[in-house]
Structure 1
Amino acid sequence: MEMDDPDVGAVMGFSGFGKKARTFDLDAIFEQTRRTAIERSKKVLEKEQCPEESVESPPRAGSSGSVTEKDQGIASSSSDDGSGGEDSDSSGSDLIGPPVPASLSRLAIEEQACDTDDRASGDTDDDEEEDEEDEDDNPVKRIPDSHEITLIHSKKTVSALGLDPSGARLVTGGYDYEVKLWDFAGMDASLQAFRSLQPCECHQIKSLQYSATGDVILCVAGSAQAKVLDRDGFQVMECAKGDQYIVDQARTKGHTAMLNSGVWHPKIKEEFITCSNDGTVRTWDMNNEKKHKNVFKPRTAQGKRIVPTTCAYSRDGKYIAAACQDGSIQIWDRNMNVHTKFYNRQAHAPGSDTSCLSFSYDGYTLASRGGDDTIKTWDVRNFRNALNVATDLPNVYSMTDCCFSPDDKMLVTGTSVQKGKGSGKLLFFDRETFVKLYEIEVTDASVIRCLWHPKLNQVMVGTANGLAKVYYHPVKSQRGAKLCVVKTKRKVRQSQTVTQDYIITPHALPMFREPRQKSTRKQLEKDRLDPVKSHKPEPPVSGPGRGGRVGTHGGTLSSFIVKNIALDKTDDSNPREAILRHAKDAEENPYWVAPAYVKTQPHAVFAVVELEEEPEDDEPEWKKRKL
């Protein structure tokens, strides 16, 4: 049924139910909002352009009224379109009264804060840029030598120095056959090594280096077998020794003569190389200690065997370089061990021992420290002529180092001196011009090893008088020596036990072989439980006694009587006379026996028993027996 007639709804009563629903024109509302936003933006821009006028001359009432009327006109037009009156009221109430001064508006405050931040950051950036420009102009300021600490290794030469990649531990080795481990985070101001060992018995330590991961140490000594130690100094691997009676060294499984140097591969953590007096350079794999991996045989110009004095990997690990006793430097491709990739026969003076080869961080420059008192740099891409040469740098030791600075702009090396004739110096050269920029007088002995760690920004130096010095800067350097110099010395712990020295007997029979000593602390704890080693006093004996020891007296009545009466030694006279001394008193005043027999036997009668004498018989004993 359709209700076309409006009177029908009135008759039925439908016209009185509720109010008519409100309708909104969204287009009109959006248009009003857009206009309001445009006008407010114009006001803000006008205030920003002339803030002085808005602050000094407050707005007139008429002007504010005109704005309100304008807004009300917009609101009325929107209400005519169908919007409610509430919007007009709210838009009009927002602009009642004088506007807020521009200096106190939120936008102005934010802009002012941004300006101050920009100025401050600009000042700091300018200062940093100035500092960087000063350092670029004067590279000496980048050398961390304002502070130093001295680690005493021994009284003999420190011939090996190594620092792990993180810079937490330092390892030193010397002519005293010892290897010492130093932990910067665990040391205090006393600067004592936490472990000392002799991994190669009576062979001088020539090279020590941490692997790329820092978990193992390559130890190269004067023997023919290199060893790999863990971070605590215990042996992990020992290279095989070759047969001395085989002429072709490529057919033996290892070196047959004294080692000269050894380094880890910069990328592959299980691979390292060693060079020896047998005239070979061998690569090794930690997973196979029974035989070498590859053999490189340097040759003279006539094709004869020559001894390599030092070896090195390139930064990317693709090339292997070796310096030989004939003054040549030969470089092989790691995967091709027959022919050399680059070589220079007249790199240094023939017959001198080139002590070090070091590649720059960019991988194109090679620095060589010669035994002819020179240091040279070479371009690997053009290996015929040296880039730069520095002379008059005394070099007595075959382990004298040279290294590049972390920014790859300086070259560092040490000089040797005779005993009592000057001081050993650490020299810094500009890489491009080879001008000596700076020098440090280290000590009154030769400077052999030097190492500039890129992460710590600290310089480590090993000297011929048994010292290992660390140079650092309190601001430019990080961790390392800064961790231990601030710690106070710990009190010396008095050892209450006497431990026996650990004697190494490698060829002893299994029944006589002593177990490997793992830790001094565990050995002390074990010896503390041993009453003989700890000299534990014997406890008092309770009871009658045991083990040949008599117990304490007075525990029982009999022991008390024995101690106080029987063992009374106050009367030193004759015991018979001491007894007869009381005979008269006992007869006149009986106390023990006589009173008991007073009534029954007043007069004592003692029975006298006479023993019958047996007749003498001369018959033998066997006749008296009855058969």
Structure 2
Amino acid sequence: MINNVLAVFAASDKMSDDGEIASVMGFSGFGKKARTFDLEAIFEQTRRTAIERSQLVLDERQKDDQMDEEGESSQSVKSSLHAPRDKAAAATSGKQESESSSDSGSDSDSELIGPPLPPQHTAQDDDDEDGPLTRASGSTAQTDEEEDDDDGEAQDDDDDNPVKKIPDTHEITLQHGTKTVSALALDPSGARLVTGGYDYDVRFWDFAGMDQGVQAFRSLQPCECHQITSLQYSNTGDVILVVSGNAQAKVLDRDGFNVMECVKGDQYIVDMAKTKGHTAMLNSGCWHPKTKEEFMTCSNDGTVRTWDLSSEKKHKSVFKPRSFQGKKVVPTSCTYSRDGKLIAAGCQDGTIQIWDRNLSVHTKFHCRQAHIPGSDTSCISFSYDGRTLASRGGDDTLKMWDIRNFRKPVNVATGLSNNFTMTDCCFSPDDKLLVTGTSVKREQGNGKLVFFDRTSFQKVYEIEVTNASVVRCLWHPKLNQIMVGTGNGLAKVYYDPLKSHRGAKLCVVKSQRKERQAETLTQDYIITPHALPMFREARQRSTRKQLEKDRLDPKKSHKPEPPVSGPGRGGRVAAHGGTLSSFIVKNIALDKTDDSNPRQAILRHAQEASDNPYWVAPAYKQTQPVPLFAEDSEEDEEAEKEPEWKKRKI
């Protein structure tokens, strides 16, 4: 404020100097004058306005309190409640009258400027000031506070119980195919779901574009005749990593078009670090959680490789798991930590090996006997806080590890059958539950989705999904919906209308569209803009009327011909056996006439043809003259009697 005042004084001095210069130079001025402000008047006006507003607020509050008071005791209590406020108001007014003695800081503290405080807040302040007298009169407020406390405790109980947060009240079923759904992926926004299976297909599902029919809008086979092992969207959701049974991973865009394909390495080189890519089938893959262009794959060639989306000719770095004897070990699953600084791999010899992302030679954490040797570790997953690691083993166990003490597991759950090398385990969005699926043999029970409490590691909930194994499970933190892939070609989505957001809720509210049988014109409309009006074809305004007309036309509507009654007509025969040959055979068998003499067979119709002419004779009946035939002469009779060799040749 002081700086502003100084600036105004400096401007006024400058203006006076400018005026003197203008008078000396002989002209009126330098242009428009700057506006001057009386700061003291502005401060005084603002202070008076604040005092008036505060006084009005206090008067209205006193009127409301007087109207609400009932009884003398309540009136006395109310007066005691407002006594300090009146004193404060009187003190405030006294301070306001002494303008010169009070500075700006004390005025701002004493004046009541702004909207009034809510009544509950003021009552609590008065209770603190006046003591037990006002507490006795405020029993109703205490009861309200107790009710609020009870509601808060109930909400706290719901928050403490993570089972009530599981969204499983409703479900929808997506029919991927008939074989195992071995891969699931949801983009970060939760708008699109991608499923892959043993049938080599990758299907795209759009929740916002589907109706109750829940049909995929695109299906393709990006890796030809290789089973899909893993699918995952990048952290930006613009590309998808596709890992299949071949040695080359692919990256597709959101619509399924190819963006990148990793190079294949040289299988005749012994040192896998010297090759540019994998030389054996892939087992798993995932994107870096922070760097959007980096992803990782693991393969049966005994390596874990990181790749850069911009350079597909060579891998970025290589990590080689080793056994206790230093031999090559096949990694079956791999993942990044939540911050992207660690790379973890579960191996076939039962070990879990973790590297620093920048140090690819020696492991940072190494557990030798995490699972039974020879069992494929199907999944490893980091918790959201980054301190806990969960591993799903092929030895029917689920284990939880603390990275800070990686020698032995924190908790172990047994009896969880696992028949697939890609069975998932994941943490709930609040990091309090751990979820995995169980496998069953064909027609020997139902596959289940099992929930474990992270602290006690007790099984707190389970969902029977279907009569097949539960292979993939995914709990999306933004949608709060659980996606499940099963062994019979189904992908199920579990959700709660109250706890979940968007996702499956978008498509279940849309009724299924009825397919129109004929939505196009029956014949093509040829546009001839330069034709004469007499030859120009009229444009069809409505397809409905045209369809109705075409329906009445037997040729355009392809009306089937009615069955033949009688002997047949137009080349068609009646149902005497269904074929023309059978009809002919039957007529020949029933024909009693003797056609050994063809002349007699033809002439037997001569009398009927002459009596009832049908074809040629009726047309010339009026104009045809009477036919005259030549009579036989004697010469002709003699010529017939002569032998053949004496006849004259004509």
1:491 aligns with 2:514: yes
Query: Which residue in 1 is equivalent to 2:329?
Result: 306
How far the C-alpha of 1:130 sits from its partner, in A, is 3.3
Query: Which residue in 1 is equivalent to 2:551?
Result: none
How big is each residue's C-alpha offset from its partner over 1:154-195, in whole Å with a ceiling of 9 and x where there is no partner?
A: 110000011111111111000000011101110000111111
Q: Secondary structure at the match of 1:338?
A: coil
Q: Is the 1:149–1:481 Cα contact (8 Å) retained in structure 2?
A: yes
| Cα separation, 1, equivalents of 2:56 and 2:220 | 85
Which structure 2 segments of 5+ residues have no match?
1-43, 77-96, 98-114, 124-137, 521-554, 557-612, 628-650
How far the C-alpha of 1:432 sits from its partner, in A, is 1.1
Q: Is the 1:457–1:472 Cα contact (8 Å) retained in structure 2?
A: yes
Query: Which residue in 2 is equivalent to 1:573?
Result: 617
How far the C-alpha of 1:129 sits from its partner, in A, is 2.3
1:235 aligns with 2:258: yes
Q: Is the 2:338–2:384 Cα contact (8 Å) retained in structure 1?
A: yes
CA radius of gyration, larger in = 1
Q: Secondary structure at the match of 1:323?
A: strand
Q: Provide the aligned C-alpha RMSD in A.
A: 3.9
| Residue identity in the other structure for 1:321 | A
| Cα separation, 2, equivalents of 1:132 and 1:56 | 38
How far the C-alpha of 1:222 sits from its partner, in A, is 0.2
Query: Which residue in 1 is equivalent to 2:580?
Result: none
How far the C-alpha of 1:343 sits from its partner, in A, is 0.6
| Cα separation, 2, equivalents of 1:248 and 1:222 | 22
After TM superposition, the structure 1 = structure 2 runs for residues 391-410 of structure 1, keeping only pairs within 5 Å, are 391-410=414-433
- Give the alignment partner of residue 356 of structure 2, picking from 330, 333, 340: 333
Q: Secondary structure at the match of 1:383?
A: coil
| Cα separation, 2, equivalents of 1:582 and 1:164 | 98
Query: Which residue in 1 is equivalent to 2:477?
Result: 454
| Cα separation, 1, equivalents of 2:325 and 2:143 | 70
How far the C-alpha of 1:126 sits from its partner, in A, is 4.5
| Residue identity in the other structure for 2:625 | R
Q: Secondary structure at the match of 1:350?
A: coil
Q: Is the 1:462–1:468 Cα contact (8 Å) retained in structure 2?
A: yes
Distance change in 2, residues 1:283/1:41 (3 Å): closer
Q: Secondary structure at the match of 2:156?
A: helix
Query: Which residue in 1 is equivalent to 2:18?
Result: none
| Cα separation, 2, equivalents of 1:398 and 1:288 | 30
Query: Which residue in 2 is equivalent to 1:349?
Result: 372
Distance change in 2, residues 1:155/1:40 (3 Å): closer
How far the C-alpha of 1:111 sits from its partner, in A, is 3.8
Query: Which residue in 2 is equivalent to 1:173?
Result: 196
| Cα separation, 1, equivalents of 2:116 and 2:360 | 74
Which structure 1 segments of 5+ residues have no match?
1-26, 58-77, 79-106, 498-535, 538-568, 584-627
User: TM-score, normalising length from structure 1?
Assistant: 0.64
| Cα separation, 1, equivalents of 2:73 and 2:151 | 41
| Cα separation, 1, equivalents of 2:323 and 2:56 | 91
- Give the alignment partner of residue 368 of structure 1, picking from 391, 415, 422: 391
| Residue identity in the other structure for 2:616 | D
| Cα separation, 2, equivalents of 1:42 and 1:206 | 76
1:278 aligns with 2:301: yes
| Residue identity in the other structure for 1:133 | D
Q: Is the 1:425–1:439 Cα contact (8 Å) retained in structure 2?
A: yes
| Cα separation, 1, equivalents of 2:143 and 2:218 | 51
After TM superposition, the structure 1 = structure 2 runs for residues 517-556 of structure 1, keeping only pairs within 5 Å, are none
1:194 aligns with 2:217: yes
| Cα separation, 2, equivalents of 1:42 and 1:51 | 19
| Cα separation, 1, equivalents of 2:494 and 2:332 | 29
| Cα separation, 2, equivalents of 1:571 and 1:461 | 80
After TM superposition, the structure 1 = structure 2 runs for residues 91-110 of structure 1, keeping only pairs within 5 Å, are none
How far the C-alpha of 1:248 sits from its partner, in A, is 0.8
User: TM-score, normalising length from structure 2?
Assistant: 0.61
How far the C-alpha of 1:140 sits from its partner, in A, is 1.2
After TM superposition, the structure 1 = structure 2 runs for residues 81-92 of structure 1, keeping only pairs within 5 Å, are none
How far the C-alpha of 1:420 sits from its partner, in A, is 1.3
| Residue identity in the other structure for 2:373 | P
How big is each residue's C-alpha offset from its partner over 1:535-587, in whole Å with a ceiling of 9 and x where there is no partner?
A: x99xxxxxxxxxxxxxxxxxxxxxxxxxxxxxxx987139999756399xxxx
How big is each residue's C-alpha offset from its partner over 1:434-471, in whole Å with a ceiling of 9 and x where there is no partner?
A: 01100111111111100111111111111101111111
After TM superposition, the structure 1 = structure 2 runs for residues 261-272 of structure 1, keeping only pairs within 5 Å, are 261-272=284-295
- Give the alignment partner of residue 312 of structure 2, picking from 289, 293, 297: 289
| Residue identity in the other structure for 1:446 | S
Q: Secondary structure at the match of 2:190?
A: coil
Q: Secondary structure at the match of 1:292?
A: coil
Q: Secondary structure at the match of 1:132?
A: helix
How far the C-alpha of 1:237 sits from its partner, in A, is 0.7
| Cα separation, 1, equivalents of 2:226 and 2:56 | 92
| Residue identity in the other structure for 1:474 | P
Q: Is the 1:47–1:54 Cα contact (8 Å) retained in structure 2?
A: no
How far the C-alpha of 1:433 sits from its partner, in A, is 1.0
- Give the alignment partner of residue 479 of structure 1, picking from 502, 515, 518: 502
Q: Secondary structure at the match of 1:382?
A: coil
How far the C-alpha of 1:479 sits from its partner, in A, is 0.6
Q: Is the 2:57–2:116 Cα contact (8 Å) retained in structure 1?
A: no
| Residue identity in the other structure for 1:468 | A
1:144 aligns with 2:144: no
| Cα separation, 2, equivalents of 1:219 and 1:431 | 31
How far the C-alpha of 1:55 sits from its partner, in A, is 11
| Residue identity in the other structure for 1:328 | T
How far the C-alpha of 1:118 sits from its partner, in A, is 9.1
Identity of aligned residues (%): 68
How far the C-alpha of 1:233 sits from its partner, in A, is 1.0
Distance change in 2, residues 1:55/1:245 (3 Å): closer
> Greater CA deviation, 308-317 or 43-52?
43-52
